Amino acid sequence: MSKFKVDITGVNTNDIIVLTSEETNELFRKYQAGDLQAKDDLVNGNLRLVLSVLKSFNNQKHDMNDLFQVGVIGLIKAIDNFDLSYNLRLSTYAIPLIVGEIKRYIRDNTMVRVSRSVKDLAYQIMRYKEAYYNKNGVEASTLDIAKELNIDEYQVNYALDSLKEPVSIFEPIFNDGGDTIYLLDQIADNKEKNEDKDLYISLYNALNSIGQREHDIIIDRFIMGKTQTEIAENLNISQAQVSRIEKSALKNVKRLIK
């Protein structure tokens, strides 16, 4: 077995099912029509996405069982918000959410901590905001929240700020209907050449046009950083087969972006 295998208490990773693209789409149609069992099947059929992400965090510093549970929360959020009309594969949409959920958990559990009382207040505010929106159809103002919880507006802002994530350099800061401007564009070294955005778009489209297995192997190899041996173990095929599929996938991607 690979030394990078993730062991999760109570979960036999060898028994985890993997859905085909057709099965996934059919389950989404059922779930979006109100079938809650279909949601459970979608979650259980995509747990390998969580395990794939966990391998990047398997450095003995964090409890893998905790990170797995957190990663599943990210997967559930992805399933709840995914729409077939996006014309995306679920893995493309879900992996960033899973990674984000795990990183948020790790950040919130580092040595630099926000006090428990501030966190509790922040979650209390968030619950009230959600209830207010569900009832009134609009967001609660800071003043509304302060009055309801009998606190100052400053305390509302302070508590919510304690949960904010660091701003990504890929955060969009302006879009007037044309090209989006990201924070990175404002801090980049002017001596460096601008990124070829057309190439990124072509690559993105190409990855969503190749076969499911080719797509998954490319993502695992060049985004998740897995070895061919690790991928072979996960897919229960030989390393030589992974190598052939990878070469074919790269050839197809290059052909599609020309």
201 vs 149: which has the higher pLDDT: 149
Domain count, the chain: 3
Average pLDDT, integer, range 139-153: 90
Asked if pLDDT for residue 73 goes beyond 90, the answer is yes
Kindly report the CATH number assigned to the domain that includes residue 215: 1.10.10.10
Identify the weakest region by mean pLDDT among 136-140, 150-154, 178-182.
178-182
86 and 11 share one domain = yes
Q: Is the predicted pLDDT of residue 16 greater than 90, yes or no?
A: no
- CATH code where residue 70 lies: 1.20.120.1810
Q: 103 with 146, same domain? A: no
State whether 74 and 88 are in the same domain: yes
If you average pLDDT over every residue of the chain, what do you get? 79
For residues 159-167, average pLDDT: 68
Please indicate, yes or no, whether residues 155 and 229 belong to a single structural domain of this protein. Answer: no
Residues 3 and 100 in one domain: yes
Higher pLDDT, 7 or 43: 43
Write down the pLDDT at residue 4.
Answer: 40
For residues 28 and 41, membership in a common domain is answered with yes
Residue 62 has pLDDT above 50, yes or no: yes
Q: Higher-confidence residue: 133 or 184?
A: 133
Q: Which of 112, 146, 178 is the last residue of a domain?
A: 112
Least confident stretch, 56-65, 106-115, 137-146: 106-115
CATH of the domain at 128: 1.10.10
Q: Name the more confident of 175 and 89.
A: 89
- Tell me the percentage of the chain whose pLDDT exceeds 70: 75
pLDDT at 234 over 60: yes
Asked if residue 196 has pLDDT above 70, the reply is no
Is 193 found in the same domain as 251? yes
pLDDT at 182: 61
Residue 219, domain extent: 167-258
Q: Are residues 91 and 27 in the same domain?
A: yes
Domain co-membership, 4 together with 75: yes
Residue 114 reports pLDDT greater than 70: no
| Mean pLDDT along residues 84-105 | 86
Q: Tell me: do 86 and 131 sit in the same domain.
A: no
Question: How far out from the chain centre does Cα 179 lie?
Answer: 24
pLDDT band at 3 (very low <50, low <70, confident <90, very high): very low
